[in-house]
Amino acid sequence: MARVVILGGGVSGHTAATFAAKWLGSAHEVVVVTPNSKWNWIPSNIWVGVGEMSKEEVTFDLAPVYAKAGITYKQAKAVSLNPEGSESSDKPFVTVEFTQEGREGESEDIEYDYVVNATGPKLNFGATPGLDAGHTVSVCTADHAVHASSEFKKSIERMKSGERQKFLIGTGHGMCTCQGAAFEYIFNIEHELTKAGVRDLADIKWISNESFLGDFGMGGLHMKVGGYTVSSKIFTESLFTERDVSWIIGAHVSKVEAGRIEYELLDGSTGEEEFDFSMLIPPFAGVGLKAYAKDGSDITSTVFAPNGFMKVDANYGAGSYENWKASDWPATYQNPTYDNMFACGIAFAPPHGISKPMSSPNGTPINPTPPRTGMPSGIIGKAVAHSICDKILKGENAPLREASMADMGAACVASAGKGIFDGTAAAMTVYPVVPDFEKYPGTGRDTDYTFGEVGLAGHWIKHILHHMFIYKAKLKPGWTLIPE
Amino acid sequence: MKKEESNIKAYEQNYTTMVPGAFAKKMRTCVIWQFFRFIVLNIKMLIVVSKSH
């Protein structure tokens, strides 16, 4: 009997675990190690953050779902990997520390035949001085979003009593990703303020590390509209103007204090901005897993990139932007040193960014890091599970499944306000996620399959996706028919 | 003054972009039109999803 250990129960890890359990059946064991007791449909956190959904609507308990699927569930966090085993055993193992109530602090070594690192990111609030001090809010977790909602409501109350409020939403560091979540949040804020009848008392400002509006960490995208091929910059600036939201771009937030931030821009100039309410996304880092060789020596730098994400079959030596190629991106997500080790979702180390790297004259890097969330994250998790199941069921020489972000597209729906008749969202597809300038000279993408539009239909789709993906994650009848 | 153009400020950051007119904005939340767009968007998304699996 083989044992597959999956570290992380987010979109990618949950997808990998549930498909592995389905394909392997009861003859083999699938173990999920995740510090959380609940699964969270993160894209809907923005609605929790404005009070339009409750935490309960975007989360559910993992234990009964894993019990139903025959998955061994350990509510714990992975601490280290020993891919060569120990001096007393050749069997590789992962050391975990329990977070489950009543077992806090207990640790266990779990032996594995295959391990999948799907730990997601560490929310690195500490990278920006003051970002972890509670002056700003976040929507990265359901609990963060609940807190954001309560602070937002306080702002609305102040406005109802005639007080003017300044909202500052965006990224809290020069190397952030997830601009899309901040984009959704700022327009949901604007929508809710309009609904509350206090929009005229609000100054809303965007701040991000993008070099142009609409970069979204993937170098922007081009769409065919009215016979033209148009940059996402035009559409994003249009939406910001229409909703009267001003912006600061190319910004590295260098310090956060109560009601005030300091930032540095790509041209080297510095500035400061005051706020009454601010949601700033933190940068991501690896969760800090360590790796040890058989003799106990530290091999973390062999297994993980300096940012803490796991090395996979990517080309990490591509060098400058001019040398980047679509083929730099990983396809199998197998660790190059240990072939029974894989990484998926945010946990794999990308070869480089998608957006062009930039820095200020002072040397401060200011550019979005590449997104690895949502649909690509699910597809990669499923491909990794497929590869491992093939190896277990068909033999070690079974070919690995491939799911390169340079060969896959993504559908993305970015909410711009919730409401069954007055809601809107930007519905977008992009193909491929990572631009391939050799295959698609100019824009890097196939503009027959890259499009976007704002409207109520997009909101309906986002709302349906919310229910559909929670249904799928709960493994209800027909769950495998719903695509990632 | 056309309301939809009132947010544009001369020679400020949003002076060079485009803004939707009243008709384009109305169509965004017109239920009949959006039902049609819902079908179109779903088909387009399913094509991209099928190309990616």
Summarised one tens digit per residue, pLDDT across range A94-129 is 999 999 999 998 999 999 999 999 999 999 999 999
Alpha helices in A213-342, H assignment, sequence order: 232-242, 300-303
Residue B53: pLDDT over 90: no
Interchain CB contact of A242 with B (< 8 Å)? yes
- What are the chain B neighbours of A407 within 8 Å (beta carbons)? 52
pLDDT in tens, A436-452: 999 999 999 999 999 99
- What are the chain A neighbours of B49 within 8 Å (beta carbons)? 375, 409, 411, 483
| Residue at B35 is within a domain | yes
Residue A220: pLDDT over 80: yes
What pLDDT sits at residue A422?
A: 96
**In 3D, which of A83, A65, A38 has the Cα closest to residue A297?**
A83
Nearest chain A residue to B50, by CA? A483
What pLDDT sits at residue A225?
A: 86
| Spatial separation of the C-alpha atoms in residues A386 and A379, rounded to whole Å | 10
Interchain CB contact of A424 with B (< 8 Å)? yes
pLDDT in tens, A366-422: 999 999 888 999 999 999 999 999 999 999 999 999 999 999 999 999 999 999 999
pLDDT in tens, A73-100: 999 999 999 999 999 999 999 999 999 9
Residue B2: pLDDT over 70: yes
Nearest chain A residue to B19, by CA? A238
| Spatial separation of the C-alpha atoms in residues A361 and A340, rounded to whole Å | 43
What pLDDT sits at residue A411?
A: 92
**Rounded alpha-carbon distances, angstroms, from residue A247 to A208, A240, A266, A273, B14:** 8, 8, 14, 11, 9
Q: How confident is the model at residue A222 (pLDDT cuts 50, 70, 90)?
A: very high
Q: Which of B7, B14, B51 sits opposite A431 (nearest CB)?
A: B51
Residue A10: pLDDT over 70: yes
Residue A362: pLDDT over 90: yes
Across the interface, whether the CB atoms of A483 and B53 are under 8 A apart is answered: yes
- What are the chain B neighbours of A228 within 8 Å (beta carbons)? none
Residue B52: pLDDT over 90: no
- What are the chain A neighbours of B20 within 8 Å (beta carbons)? 238, 242
Chain-centroid distance, C-alpha A223: 24
pLDDT in tens, A193-208: 999 999 999 999 999 9
**Rounded alpha-carbon distances, angstroms, from residue A343 to A10, A115, A303:** 13, 8, 11
Residues counted in chain B? 53
Q: Which of A430, A431, A456 sits opposite B28 (nearest CB)?
A: A456
Interchain CB contact of A375 with B (< 8 Å)? yes
Q: Which of A242, A429, A458 sits opposite B48 (nearest CB)?
A: A429
Name the DSSP letter for residue A327: G
Its domain, for residue B32, covers: 22-53
A130 and A165 Cβ atoms separated by less than 8 Å: no
pLDDT in tens, A243-283: 999 999 999 999 999 999 999 999 999 999 999 999 999 99
Name the DSSP letter for residue B37: H
pLDDT in tens, A452-469: 999 999 999 999 999 999
CA distance B30 to chain A (A): 8
Fold of A3-123+286-394: FAD/NAD(P)-binding domain (3.50.50)
- What mean pLDDT is reported for chain A? 97
| Spatial separation of the C-alpha atoms in residues B38 and A447, rounded to whole Å | 20
| Residue at B41 is within a domain | yes
Across the interface, whether the CB atoms of B29 and A424 are under 8 A apart is answered: yes
Question: Average pLDDT, stretch A167-178?
Answer: 96
pLDDT in tens, A120-153: 999 999 999 999 999 999 999 999 999 999 999 9
What pLDDT sits at residue A374?
A: 85
**Phi and psi at residue A123, to the nearest 5°:** -75, 105
pLDDT in tens, A225-237: 889 999 999 999 9
| Residue at B48 is within a domain | yes
Residue A51: pLDDT over 70: yes
**In 3D, which of A275, A52, A54, A55 has the Cα closest to residue A169?**
A275
ipTM of predicted complex:
0.96
pLDDT in tens, A54-63: 999 999 999 9
> Considering all CA atoms of chain B, what is the largest pairwise distance in Å, rounded to the nearest integer?
50
Q: How confident is the model at residue B1 (pLDDT cuts 50, 70, 90)?
A: low
Residue A324: CB atoms within 10 A of its CB come to 21
| Residue at B27 is within a domain | yes
What pLDDT sits at residue A231?
A: 96
Bond into A432 cis (ω within 30)? yes
How many A-B residue pairs are in contact by the CB < 8 A criterion?
88
**Rounded alpha-carbon distances, angstroms, from residue A142 to A11, A44, A99, A306, A370:** 14, 9, 18, 29, 23
Domain total of chain B:
1
**Strands A114-117 and A341-343, how do they pair?**
parallel
Across the interface, whether the CB atoms of A241 and B7 are under 8 A apart is answered: yes
| Residue at B45 is within a domain | yes
